[in-house]
Every structure is written in structure tokens, then in C-alpha cells.
Amino acid sequence: MTKFCDMVTASFTGLLKTIFWIIIIYYAIKFLVRILAPVLLQQVVKKAGQNMYERQEQYRQQQAGYTNANTGTESNTEKPREKKKIGEYIDFEEID
């Protein structure tokens, strides 16, 4: 019966070893993050810039397509229609 009780209770040296390894692992991770974080952030910023550049190029291509489509099918001599006037614009002011 005493053998079972000895196996269940933790030793003080085992506790110290566990705390020691937790501290070592914590500082190792902290050190690696300081080294690798700038590299990872640089790649994230580079990827974001590349995505923005691609979107801008797509937008420019779309705009070029719209202007080519408008100039090819319609003549520029036509006047655009006026929008219907619905009512007057009234500017309200606050009174203190």
C-alpha cells in the first residue's frame, strides 16, 4: 500500500524540474519570436503590397475597358440627358 502512495505524490525535485523546463521553453520561444517576427512581418507586408498592386492593375484594366467600350460605340457629340429636377434644395440651420 505504501508503494501506491509514493507513486501518487509528486516529488519536490520533479516539481522544480518541471518549473525549470517551463521557464527554459518560455525564454526559448520568446527569443525565437524576436528573431523570426521581423522576417514574418516583412513577408506579410510584401504580400499585402503585391495584392494591392494586382488589384490596382485590375482596376486600371477595367477602366481602360470601359473607356474603350464607350468611345467605340457612342459618339462624343451627343449631349448627356439632364436629370429631372425633383425639388429645390433647402439648407436648414440650427437655432440655439
Instruction: Render pLDDT for 74-92 as a digit per residue (tens, 0 to 9).
Output: 555 556 676 676 777 777 7
**How far apart are the C-alpha atoms of 29 and 78, rounded to whole Å?**
69
**Joined grid coordinates for residue 48:** 499585402
Instruction: Render pLDDT for 24-62 as a digit per residue (tens, 0 to 9).
Output: 999 999 999 999 999 999 999 999 999 999 999 999 988
**How far apart are the C-alpha atoms of 93 and 77, rounded to whole Å?**
42
40-66 as b/e: b if 16+ CB within 10 A: eeeeeeeeeeeeeeeeeeeeeeeeeee
**Joined grid coordinates for residue 19:** 518549473
Residue 50 parent element (H or E): helix 12-73
The mean per-residue pLDDT over the stretch 67-78 comes to 60
**How far apart are the C-alpha atoms of 60 and 54, rounded to whole Å?**
10
Domain boundaries, the chain: 11-69
Taking alpha carbons only, the member of 45, 68, 48, 44 closest to residue 56 is: 48
